[in-house]
Amino acid sequence: MRASVLTRTLRDKWRSFRWWCIGILAFVALYGAVFPSLHGNKSLDNLIKSYPEALKGFIGFGGNLDIGSGAGYLGTEVFSFWGPIVFLAAAIAVGADAIAGEEERGTLDLLLSLPVWRVRCLLEKLAALVCEVVALGIVLWVLLVIVSAAAGMGVSAANLAATTIALILLALMFGSLALAIGAATGRRALAIGLSATLAVAADVLNALAPLASWLNSAKFVSPFYYYSHDDPLQHGLDGSDLLVLLALVLVVACLAPIVFARRDLSTP
Amino acid sequence: MTAMIWAEGLTKFYGESRGVTELSFEVEAGEVFGFLGPNGAGKTTTIRLMLDLIRPSSGKLELFGLDVRKQSVAVRSRAGYLPGDLHLYERLTPREYLRYVAALRGLDGLGEGEALAERFELELERPIRALSKGNRQKVGLVQAFLHQPDLLLLDEPTSGLDPLVQKTFNELLREVVAEGRTVFLSSHILSEVQRLADRVAIIREGSLELVEAVDVLRARAFVRVEATFSTPPPQEAFANLPGVRELERRGPVVVLALEGAADPLIKTLARYEVLALDSHEADLEDFFLTLYREGSASAS
Ligand SMILES: Nc1ncnc2c1ncn2[C@@H]1O[C@H](COP(=O)(O)OP(=O)(O)O)[C@@H](O)[C@H]1O
Ligand SMILES: [Mg+2]
């Protein structure tokens, strides 16, 4: 098969992808090892229930704070804390590098002097981002299925899959946002900074929503709400939440080429 | 026959700052067209406009009779580009990189790249980050030529090439032109363009000064003589010497342009006390000085 922008980008990402996988493996193994000592621990439960509401918003996943149960444990530790950080960091890094990184390194000039349509180049970069995040998601899911069974967490593979899909979509939304900002401006640091800031703001908005009524209606703009509010670890796939997340990804992806198709490429 | 390059009123502003203004010129098939100008004149801007990497503020630009904006992919498939400031994928080897370029051009393997690499004695297996500047430049040249393009857009191609490679490069250009293909070559070195090009455009501060056959330009070539005197000679000392024009005077230093025989000038210089004498073939800056002189002479 002849190389394309997509396959070339995937090959370039292989090295960093392996490191992300090793990181995920290490964390999931650690969480699996700690779980048996927390299982059914009521005093920890009571401690968390005594936390202020604001803190609970950040810790809980879909309102589930029962850290002694498998679903509660994975929700609070993996899907409401460490998972989004790792997945969003990976997606934002890849997204920001896709166009803006190449442009800042000066390699985009020669790439787009070849008979490659600009928008097509961007879409292939986007496809590479999707491949990488989905691959990370599959790695996470497989490891969680294994650890859940081994440590007796009792969370089904289907529910883990549903939650992982939501996490993938959440990461893709901010990853394609970084790609879009980078493509529009050619500035990698700006793409990273702005999309990470927006991600944190969206998370905070969703976490603090129960505290004030005006926040409670504003939470609907936060992608994190659709990611977690229905607790897919306990309740499985919720089609409408996933559709909202997918729609957000598609909207950002469709916006990405608009400025890029028209602007001047810069040289370092 | 349609021109290979056709520009009319081509203008590019970067926000407020001037890129190029009102360029109009044509490049015919089968010629080496030299695009000569000092740093910041607008050479790179012009070439990047041709590849649709940047967009014009106004004016028209066609390559192969195709609009560079509307049919940019078709234009780029027939052109080869060597950037003035070359940035390559550092982690790849030249072979991996050239295979990528060839694939995006719809070619299997390296296209002509293998043969070209051999000609330039480019080692294909070492990572690009480990290559010297000269070897990187070879990678840049090979990727520009590997699909046998109808038109080569070379932005200051000889910077960083050692003399031996330069010779191979010159031969390659001659073959390309013998096959009826076209070369657009930018440079800031007058002698280089005189050596390589058939026609020359001179660009300065964003606008074209002149477009001439290189023979015409060569006929206007001269030697620059810079003489330092113990006391400044009289204003008219070199006024009526055959083939001699005074270009500049800075206190005891007089700069003269000499065309043809040196003898009358030497005899005149000998009448004064000369502390230092320096002469070399005129470069672009000297050439501009004479253009200025002619301009002000014809204006007065
Ligand atoms: N991205 C840019 N932003 C602003 N000004 C630019 C930019 N690129 C080039 N210029 C200006 O355009 C003019 C022409 O530059 P350039 O085409 O690079 O000249 P050359 O290649 O002949 O050295 C210069 O004055 C330069 O400062
Ligand atoms: Mg330049």
| Residue B291 within any structural domain of the chain | no
B214 CA to middle of ligand 1, Å? 26
Q: Report the candidate in B101, B205, B34 with the shortest Cα–Cα distance to residue A109.
A: B101
Contact A105 B101 (CB under 8 A): no
Contact predicate A4/B104, CB 8 Å = yes
* Nearest by Cα to B208 from B72, B11, B3: B11
H helix runs in chain B, sequence order: 43-50, 72-78, 94-104, 113-119, 133-145, 163-178, 190-196, 214-219, 263-269, 284-299
CA distance A168 to B41: 50
Give every CB contact of residue B9 below 8 A, 6+ residues apart in sequence: B22, B23, B24, B58, B59, B60
Length of chain A: 268
Q: Are residues B202 and B235 in the same domain?
A: no
Cα-to-chain-centroid distance, residue A110 = 31
Give the N- to C-terminal CA distance of chain A in Å, as an integer.
Answer: 33
Q: Under an 8 A CB cutoff, do A112 and B74 touch?
A: no
Are residues B255 and B120 part of one domain? no
**Into how many domains does chain B fold?**
2
ipTM of predicted complex: 0.91
In a domain, B258, yes or no: yes
Does residue B200 contact residue B34 with C-beta atoms inside 8 Å?
A: yes
Q: Are residues B252 and B214 in the same domain?
A: no
pLDDT in tens, chain B (300 residues): 689 999 999 999 999 999 999 999 999 999 999 999 999 999 999 999 999 999 999 999 999 999 999 999 999 999 999 999 999 999 999 999 999 999 999 999 999 999 999 999 999 999 999 999 999 999 999 999 999 999 999 999 988 788 888 999 999 999 999 999 999 999 998 888 888 999 999 999 999 998 999 888 777 778 889 999 999 999 888 888 888 888 888 889 999 988 888 888 999 999 999 999 998 887 777 777 777 666 555 443
Please indicate, yes or no, whether residues B211 and B229 belong to a single structural domain of this protein.
Answer: no
Coil, helix or strand for A131? helix
Interface probe with B: pick from A114, A265, A266, most Cβ of B within 10 Å: A114
C-alpha B198 to ligand 1 mean position (Å): 26
User: Measured between alpha carbons, how far is B26 from B5 in angstroms, rounded to an integer?
Assistant: 5
Question: Beta strand B32-36 with B58-63: parallel, antiparallel or unpaired?
Answer: unpaired
Among candidate residues A4, A23, A166, A165, the one with its CA nearest the CA of residue A93: A23
Specify whether the CB–CB gap between A191 and A178 falls below 8 A: yes
Q: Quick check: helix, strand or coil at residue B54?
A: coil
Domain boundary among B218, B241, B257: B218
Question: Is B76's CB within 8 Å of A115's CB?
Answer: yes
Whether B31 and B66 map to the same domain: the answer is yes
Q: Is residue B78 part of a domain?
A: yes
> Hey, is the C-beta of B13 within 8 angstroms of any chain A C-beta?
no
CB distance B50 to B153 below 8 Å: yes
Chain B residues in contact with A110 by the CB 8 A cut-off are 81, 83, 86-88, 101, 143
CA distance B197 to B24: 19
**If we measure between CA atoms, which residue out of B152, B190, B159 comes closest to residue B36?**
B190
Residue B261 in tokens:
């025989």
- Write out residues with Cβ below 6 Å of ligand 1: A 266; B 14, 17, 19, 37, 39-45
Query: In sequence order, which ranges of A209-237 are alpha helices (DSSP H)?
Result: 213-218, 223-228, 232-235
Atom index in ligand 1 nearest the CA of residue B37 equals: 22
B209: domain CATH number is 3.40.50.300
**Candidates A112, A264, A268; nearest CB to B87:** A268
Cα(B13) to ligand 1 centroid in Å equals: 9
Is B64 domain-assigned?
A: yes
Token pair for residue B268? 């005149």
Measured in Å, residue B33 CA sits from the centre of ligand 2 at: 16
Residue with CA nearest ligand 1 atom 14: B42
Distance CA B45, CA B77 (A): 20
- pLDDT for B300 equals 39
Domain final residue, candidates B177, B192, B218: B218
Ligand having the closest approach to the CA of B188: 1
Taking the CA of residue A250 and the nearest CA in chain B, the distance in Å comes to 26
Query: What three-state secondary structure class fits A3?
Result: coil
Chain-chain contact of B87 with A12 (C-beta, under 8 angstroms): no
Ligand (nearest to CA of B11): 1
Q: Write out the residue range of the structural domain in which residue B184 sits.
A: 5-218
- Same domain assignment for residues B102 and B151: yes
Assess B255–A contact: CB distance below 8 Å, yes or no: no
Q: Examine residue B295 and state whether it is found in any structural domain, yes or no.
A: no
Is there a single domain that holds both residue B207 and residue B273?
no
CA B205 to ligand 1 centroid distance, Å: 10
Scanning B15-74 for CB atoms below 8 A from A yields 48, 51-55, 72-74
Do B153 and B201 share a structural domain?
yes
Same domain, B101 and B169: yes
Q: Is residue B116 part of a domain?
A: yes
Q: Tens-of-pLDDT digits for all 268 residues of chain A?
A: 678 999 999 999 999 999 999 999 999 999 999 888 887 777 777 778 778 777 777 777 877 777 778 888 999 889 988 999 999 999 999 999 999 999 999 999 999 999 999 999 999 999 999 999 999 999 999 999 999 999 889 899 999 999 999 999 999 999 999 999 999 999 999 999 999 999 999 998 888 887 878 878 888 889 999 998 888 888 888 889 999 999 999 999 999 999 999 999 999 9
Contact B83 A110 (CB under 8 A): yes
Q: What is the DSSP string of B162-183?
A: -HHHHHHHHHHHHHHHHTT-EE
Residue with tokens 């982690």: B91
Which residue, of B192, B218, B244, is where some domain finishes?
Answer: B218
For residues B262 and B213, state if they share a domain: no
Q: State the distance between the two ends of chain B, measured CA to CA, in whole angstroms.
A: 42
Whether chain A has a CB inside 8 Å of the CB on B77: the answer is yes
Assigned token pair, B231: 């006391």
B-chain residues within 8 Å CB-CB of A107?
Answer: 87-89
Contact B68, B220 (CB under 8 A): no
Q: Let me know whether B226 and B212 are in one domain.
A: no
Judge whether B297 lies within some domain: no
B135: in domain: yes
Return the DSSP state at A25.
Answer: H
Q: Whose CA is nearest to atom 18 of ligand 1?
A: B44
Q: Verify that B33 and B171 share a domain, yes or no.
A: yes
d(CA B130, CA B120): 17
Residue with tokens 């009319």: B8
CATH code of the domain covering residue B264 = 3.30.70
pTM of the model: 0.90
Edge-to-edge strands, sheet with B274-281: B244-250, B253-258, B223-229, B274-281
